[in-house]
Structure formats: C-alpha cells, structure tokens
Structure 1
Amino acid sequence: MIHVVRMTVWQWGIRVPARQGEEMRQALIREGALDASLRVLRDGDTLILPLTGPRDGAGQFGFEAHPGREPLPRHELVGGIAIMQDDDPDGAQKILISRPSLHTVVFAEGEVSGEYRTRQFRVLAGDLTTRTTVTEHGHKFVVDLAGAYFSARLSTERQCLLAQVQEGENVLDMFAGVGPFAITLAARASLVVASDLNPRAIELMLENILQNRIKNVLPMLADARRLVDLLPWKFDRIVMNLPLAGTEFLPEAFCLCRPGGIIHFYSLVSAKGEHTARIRELGGTVIAEREVRSYSPGQWHAVYDIVAD
C-alpha cells in the first residue's frame, strides 16, 4: 500500500463565498497575489484562497501544497515588487520567476522610521528599483517604497472611508503620502487638501493626481503642526494615518475640524480604548473603534472614528 503524505503549509488566506470564488481567484491571479503552490480550501459555502502575503481581511490557514510545487517564501506584493520577510536571495529568485507581473524582489532592512516615514530596502532579485505602480479599485498609484510611505494593505480601508464621505465635503488628509486616501476620497469630496512633510511623497502625489486625472486634490508640502496657521478652512472630515506618532497631532486636528465633523485617527494600540481619554480631553466623542489589521503580537492597527464637539 502506498501512503500519500500531504504537507500542510501555514500561509495567508482570504475567505470568500464559493459562488464568487472563481471571480476572486482570477482577480488575485491578475494582481499576482494568489499563491498557486497551495490548494484552495473549502469550508462549507465558502472558499479560502491562498495568498502570497497579508492583506485586509486575510488570516492564517493550513493549506495543502500542490504535488510537485514548492511553496514560495513568505512575501508581500506591492505592484510589481515582492517584499520578502527574510534575507533569502535564492527564495527571491523563485518568487521572481513565479509570476510575470513581478520586476523586483526586495528585503526590508528595518521598520518605517524618521520624520519622512521611510524604510530601507535591499534588492535581492530583478531590477534595481523600489519604484512601481499599484492598481487599486480603478486608480493607479506610482509608489517608491524607499522614498515615501505606502501601504497596499489599506486598500479596503480606503474604500471603507469613501463609503462614509458625503457629496460635497471638504476633506483634509494630514499625512497623505503619495495620495492614496486623498485620491480615493476625491470621488465624493468637493475638495481634498493632501499634506505631507516628505518632498518625495509630494512629487509622487503630483504624478498620481495627473495620472488619475483628479482635479479637486490640493497637495501641500507642510509640517502638520503648521496647518492650523496655513489653512483658512475648517474641514468636514480629517484623515490622520500616522500610526506611530499621530497622537501628538490630535490637537491640530481638532482645531481644523468643524463642530460635528469627523476625524479618522489611526494608531498602533495594545488595548481597546487606549486613546479614548485623550480624545475626550480634546473635545471629541469616539463613535467607533475598530481593528484595521494585526501589526505584531499584542499590537494592532486601529482606527478611531471621532466626532468633534
């Protein structure tokens, strides 16, 4: 008797209704995000599709490997660049040849740091570049991973905010990066002011505004601490995506938000309600607090939806 040993591989996966499985599978293939070395799981009326890296709504699942297909090293896809979790040149070559959409595989040397929110990368395979284009819900964003902060994992979050924006709102994005939140919300807002301290981020934002033919986003190269003095408006909605240090800018956000306006404050937290007391001190009411994604053991990326009193 021949015994077949099935290898279980723990990898990121996303759960979808079975009736939408093929549509989602094809979309992930086009994006380069489906891990074709692993079998799709079925769980009742849902399918769990294996991913090449983390994304909004994903979790860890035990998949069976396809016979004869070696699982790829863990990595995250951002446009045509794969970001590896380990310094593994051989694994980088395997990832590069696994899908035609990739042009570069990099290893992240350290975390996001500094006032410009940048990160160091070393190219392990492919083209010597950290620049790529990300397609997201009908928009194209030019990004430079080493030059300006960008998170592909917040794609669903941007759509969540867009659903909350009312037609004609004036919106402020205090830490806009290359403009993904600002350009997404411009579909409903009357005006989006998109500020960032990083000159490289503003350069890329200008490219993205032109590329997406957006006419109601105003880029600003400015320190968020000075926006109160620079801007003549009060805003209906403010986005604060600076998870590591956003708390220190909350007073400026409240000064810039009209009474009854909404502030979306993102932060890395270790406990629910971690910033609630400070928000109350500043004159705000938390109407929702939710986890956006897991960040590390015991810490997660949360967003507080706040009404300014």
Structure 2
Amino acid sequence: MTVPQWGVRVPARQGEEMRQALIREGALDASLKLIRNGDLLILPVLEQREGAEWCEFEAHPGREPLPRHELVGGIAIMQDDDPDGAQKLLASRPSLHTVVFAEGEVHGEYRTREFRVLAGQSTTRTQVTEHGFTFNVDLAGAYFSARLSTERQRILVHVREGEVILDMFAGVGPFAITLARIASLVVASDINPKAIELMLENIAQNRAKNVLPMLADARHLDGIIPWQFDRVVMNLPLSGTEFLPAAFRLSRPGGTIHFYSLVSVEGEHVARIQELGGTVLSERVVRSYSPGQWHAVYDVRVGE
C-alpha cells in the first residue's frame, strides 16, 4: 500500500545526515519508507517545506505512526495535549527523557514559552548536539530552535576568515558559536539574562573563545558598540522588522544581513529593506509556521 506524503530529495551520500537532521526537527515521517531513485533519496516529511514535493511512499508494515512532535535534544514537544501519545512517544526512543506540550506560542521580549510535562522527567532542560557542537537548552527559559540547524550551516558556508559578526538575538548562542568556527569575532547579544547564562555555559563547553556575550536590548546596540560588522544575524521572526534600521547602522557598507521573519506573502519586506538602502540577494522559506504564514529568511546586501 502506498501513502501520499511530502518528500525531500537529497543526494544518497547526504541521506543519513539529512535523515538525522529531520529526526531532530521532528519532521521525518518515520511511518513511511524512504524512496531510492538512482543517486538520490526521497525522505518523507510531515509537512510542506522548501523543495518538498508530493510523493507516494510505502508504509512500514506494522509500524504505527507516532504523534506529531518536534525533538529538541532529549525532549519531545508534542503538537497535541495527548498524555497517552506522550507515553508511547517516550517509549519509542531511548534518548528521550521528557515529553512536553507547549501551552502557548513564543511571547514577550525574553522569547519564552510555557510547557507542561506529559511524560518522563519533570524538566525543560536538555542538551542538543548538532554538527559537532553541544548546546545546553532550557525550553522554558530561553529561545532555541532545532529547526534552524540547517540554516546555521548554510550561513557558515558563506562566512570568510577574519569576519566580525553580530548575532542580535543570540538566545543560548547556537548561531554565534557555530559561526565562530570561522569568524574572527562574534558578538552575541540578547536581552534575556537566562539566555546569556546558558550561552556562557555553551561558550565554555564548545571552547568558543572568540564569542563575546552581551546582555543588551538590541534597540540600543548601535549606541553601545563602536564598530560595524561584516555580517549581522537577525533571528527574531515575530518582530524583527522594527530592528532593521539598527541592523543597517551596525553593518559596514557591503556587509550582509540575514533577516528572519514570519511572512504571509512573498516579498513582504522587500520594500522596507530597499528603503533602508539594502538589496535582497535571496528570500527563502525556512519552514511553514501556520496556514497562510511561513518562516522566511532574507539575505540582504547593505548598500555601499
């Protein structure tokens, strides 16, 4: 029997890496078999995403689909308040220690979220490993998205030795610490004291000696920091637009801004970026967010 589902094509040599990334996101549909097509694999995913196509997959015989969830280290975040499903999920992977239900969306200037434990240990703290880095995370204390693992690697490819980078909304430091592998210096700012506390742990744990943490309101960074940056990362999807003028002032002429935002139409922020003197190099869908809304990233070149 075949089952229709979204699928993502990937070269076979990268198949396991992509499979593990999708598992970390909670995006892989583990009830379906992957498709092998020559040197390509098609991996089944639970929702539409950039590059996905509608395919016919074979079901794994006797394998019951697990409840929809996102994995963050040893914690599974369920999309439904389902205690029975949480117990089934907890038993599905030895690496899981907690299953939670998110009782609201990310909110407030600290970008926090409320969770209720449905199964396992009573904690929202875990460790996340991605691409050779290990991050301490507290889901209720500071923002972290495992779904941006691929984005961190995408930007890393474009970083050149000697770059000075600003992460305006750094959270626990995953972008900053990843990019510090090549950059000369990364300034990692956040307004949330808990985020900075976890970031300090992660800087030490990953031996990232060229990351400078800064507890600050991004609105005032251009009055605090006396220099301009080669690259600015703006991962504040819900309200990042209001910080775009500050990001431009903090960028050197010819520098790059990676601006993440929730959008409901293609090109939603292009006019504002052009008003500020920027050129949109690309606009990409990172993931779907809700019906009619998606998480996008604009790669922007700052005017000379």
Moved more, 64-73 or 161-170: 64-73
| Identity fraction in percent | 75
Contact kept? 2:23, 2:71, Cα under 8 Å: no
Q: Which amino acid aligns with 1:180?
A: P
Partner of 1:39: 33
Structure 2 unaligned residues grouped into runs of 5+:
none
Contact kept? 1:32, 1:101, Cα under 8 Å: no
Q: 1:31 to 1:223 in 2, by over 3 A?
A: closer
Partner of 1:113: 107
Partner of 1:272: 266
Q: What do you get for the CA RMSD once the two structures are aligned?
A: 2.6
Contact kept? 1:175, 1:224, Cα under 8 Å: yes
Answer yes or no: is 1:232 the counterpart of 2:231: no
Answer yes or no: is 1:218 the counterpart of 2:183: no
- Give the Cα separation in 2 of the matches to 1:267 and 1:32: 19
- Give the Cα separation in 2 of the matches to 1:97 and 1:74: 15
1:97-144: per-residue Cα shift (whole Å, max 9, x none)?
Answer: 111010011111111111111111111100001111111111001111
Partner of 2:256: 262
Structure 1 unaligned residues grouped into runs of 5+:
1-5
Q: 1:31 to 1:228 in 2, by over 3 A?
A: closer
Larger Rg: 1
Q: Which amino acid aligns with 2:151?
A: E
Secondary structure of 1:100's aligned partner: coil
Q: Which amino acid aligns with 1:136?
A: E
From 245, 248, 270, give the equivalent of 2:242: 248
Contact kept? 2:73, 2:127, Cα under 8 Å: yes
Shift, 1:13, TM fit = 5.1
Contact kept? 1:235, 1:256, Cα under 8 Å: yes
Partner of 2:119: 125
What pairs up with 1:89-104 in 2 under 5 angstroms? 89-104=83-98
From 43, 46, 53, give the equivalent of 1:49: 43
Contact kept? 2:166, 2:186, Cα under 8 Å: yes
Partner of 1:182: 176
Shift, 1:16, TM fit = 2.9
TM-score (norm. length: structure 2): 0.90
Shift, 1:233, TM fit = 1.1
- Give the Cα separation in 1 of the matches to 2:200 and 2:2: 48
- How many residue pairs are counted as aligned between the two chains? 302
Partner of 2:188: 194
Moved more, 296-305 or 108-117: 296-305
Answer yes or no: is 1:158 the counterpart of 2:149: no
TM-score (norm. length: structure 1): 0.89
Shift, 1:261, TM fit = 1.1
